[in-house]
A = this chain, B = another copy of it.
Amino acid sequence: MSDYIHPQRDAEFVLNELVQFDQLCKATGQDEVNAELASVILTEAGKLGNGVLAPLNKVGDLNHPTLVDIDGQSGVESGVRETAGFADAYREYMDGGWSSLTGAEEFGGQNLPNVLGTAVNEIWQSANLAFALCPLLGQGAIESISHHGSDQLKQAYLPKMISGEWTGTMNLTEPDAGTDLAAVKTKAVPVNDHYLITGQKIFITWGDHQMTDNIVHLVLARLPDAPAGVKGISLFVVPKFMLDEQGNPAQRNDAYAVSLEHKLGIHGSPTCVMSFGDNGGAVGYLVGEPNKGLAYMFTMMNHARQGVGLQGLAVSEASYQHALEYAKERIQGTQKDGSRYSIIKFPDVRRMLMQMKSSTEAMRALCLVASAEIDRGNSARVELLTPIVKGWVTELAQELTYLGVQIHGGMGFIEETGAAQFYRDARILTIYEGTTGIQGLDLVGRKTLANGGQHLAELLDEIAEGISRFEALGGQFDLAAQQCRIALENGIAARQWLLDNKQDLSAPGSASVSFMMLFGYLCGGWLMAKSALQAKAKLDAGEGDPEFLNTKLTSAQFFCEHMVPRTQSCLASIQAGSESIMKLDELQF
């Protein structure tokens, strides 16, 4: 497991050939940033990921965090003890300046492009998903305060959160309020300049630990006079330790982890039940205006959801490397001359490896292209791509990590092998930050029907243009281009079906996940087609490494021939509509 190596060449290929990184930096006024700097940064990040975080991945899986709960007499602070070794790794991560990469300059950040932060983040997530969740969620807390907090809150919290000295958490879910945040019950009562928060939150990732000397909880709660439902939720900052006049952590706040979940995967990440106000109320500070908490959550949702999509890519890449190594080493067949060979010679093993390899490349392309749209401020496109990145990439990650186990045969089922951990860790990705069902609904509803399908039409036009160029390539890409053309037509038909059937209130929901998956495969095909075009152009111009570029051509060919045709069955399911989905009454199930 410590053998993970960041596929830097592919990341740079996507940055340079699909994202046009240099151009992006110029266009966004970051003249001093360019591909060369990105390459140096990725190399350095790779060292930390490969050398420090990856070796702790299995350690965290086996040695879960524990909750120490000793009464006050002993003088031992109760709370979560993270896996041994994680605190040192976190210190290296922080000291290397990795926490502040994309942070705002005025609060000590390095202000690098979001897309570069995303490319670097892939490394942390591949190396150690459980560890890397901590800064990923901290990023959400930073954004909440950055966009909506008062100057006072920003000055007090952002510098240390951006530097990584303090981590941040997101406290949304309650036992009866998961996807349905309207049901949030946690209370906030105003007292002088602050509020007293009482309530319980569940599924709080990295809700407590000892790696830093403070933790900043962002908490959704209701004011006493708040309207019912989602329009009555406010957002609060609740630090683990309140700050003294110098801004340093001082008095312990009334916010505690009271239990840890026993989970299928990401064992190294403590998932806490957090209790606020058991001893009178946790001190909290209102972020922005009252009753706008939900809207504030939405502003950072694109970032967080793209981050989880990226986790899908990252865990698939790690699983692929693990399986590839096994396939090369595992001797199984005997040739006629008695010599033996490894299982990578078998066509079906190759089929699985190609599926993993080409799909991770397509995912990487989509993740970075979508991330760069945030830099470009292309908000319509960001809105549209985000549920596809979150939904499609994480769903496909299930299949890829499944194949990672399958390639190992019986050894894959044995935990010591390590393949099963990627499979278990990946399983959370289609659930948290909005399930796949929520991503599908978001795509068909707010991102498509709400604008009459206009944004999707613009994307389809751009895809059509790319596919036309792909068709002109010819040769080994004839079938690949033909499949992309069919997928495009399927995408056009799906959009039209959605617009034509919105009078059936169950139609969008029934079609939603197939709709989202269809556009995932279509976008993947489009970006792999673009990759092939760029690789071919470079080969023709005698630029770049021909070995890598030729590999990219085959990978693109495979993806378009074997994965893109899945849009067919997605479209069939969409067009079947809601009839047989909604027909049974509940007792008939």
Contacts and interface: CB of A to CB of B under 8 A. Distances in A.
A130 to B, nearest CB: 13
Contact of A581 (B350, B573, B583): B350
Contacts of A457: none
A565 B557 CA distance: 24
A513 interface: yes
Contacts of A183: 334
A3 to B, nearest CB: 14
Contacts of A409: 178-179, 431, 435
A219 to B, nearest CB: 18
A257 to B, nearest CB: 16
Interface stretch (A27-35, A110-118, A324-332, A375-383): A324-332
Interface string A520-557: 00000000000000000000000000010011001001
A423 B427 contact: yes
- Copies of this chain held together in the complex: 2
B424 A406 contact: no
Given A350-B582, A409-B178, A565-B572, A414 B510 contact: no
Given A264-B415, A427-B405, A346 B410 contact: no
A203 B557 CA distance: 39
Nearest to A266: B413
A179 B381 CA distance: 49
B263 A348 contact: no
Contact of A580 (B179, B328, B558): B558
Interface in A349-391: 349-354, 357
B414 A262 contact: yes
Given A427-B423, A580-B561, A328 B265 contact: no
A448 interface: no
Contacts of A435: 406, 409
A349 B437 contact: yes
A178 B581 CA distance: 43
Contacts of A506: 347
Interface in A384-404: 398, 402
A60 interface: no
Nearest to A230: B334
A173 interface: yes
B420 A406 contact: no
Contacts of A349: 437
Contacts of A413: 263-265, 427-428, 431
Contact of A347 (B202, B427, B582): B582
Contacts of A572: 483, 561-562, 565, 568
A588 interface: yes
B558 A569 contact: no
Given A334-B180, A344-B589, A348-B437, A431 B410 contact: yes
Interface in A115-131: none
A261 interface: yes
A333 interface: yes
Contacts of A440: 348
Contacts of A354: 580-581, 584
Interface residues of A, number: 92
A16 interface: no
A436 interface: yes
Given A328-B586, A547-B588, A561-B576, A581 B347 contact: yes
A159 interface: no
Contact of A402 (B261, B398, B510): B398
Interface in A196-222: 202-203
Contacts of A589: 324, 328, 344, 353, 357
A145 interface: no
Nearest to A557: B580
Contacts of A261: 414
A261 B411 CA distance: 10
Nearest to A411: B178
A436 B583 CA distance: 34
B427 A348 contact: no
Contacts of A437: 346, 348-349, 352, 406
A120 to B, nearest CB: 24
A551 B412 CA distance: 39
A331 to B, nearest CB: 7
A509 interface: yes
A351 B510 contact: yes
A452 interface: no
Interface string A499-513: 000000010111011
A441 interface: yes
Contact of A562 (B573, B584, B586): B573
A83 to B, nearest CB: 18
A95 interface: no
A182 B346 contact: no
Contacts of A202: 410
Contacts of A458: none
The 5 A-B residue pairs whose C-beta atoms are closest, nearest first, are A347-B509, A565-B572, A561-B576, A558-B580, A568-B568
Given A406-B430, A406-B436, 7 more contacts: A228-B338, A264-B423, A328-B589, A413-B431, A547-B588, A557-B580, A568-B568
17 contacts: A176-B331, A179-B332, A179-B409, A180-B333, A202-B410, A346-B509, A348-B513, A398-B402, A406-B430, A412-B431, A413-B428, A551-B584, A554-B583, A557-B580, A562-B572, A565-B568, A565-B569
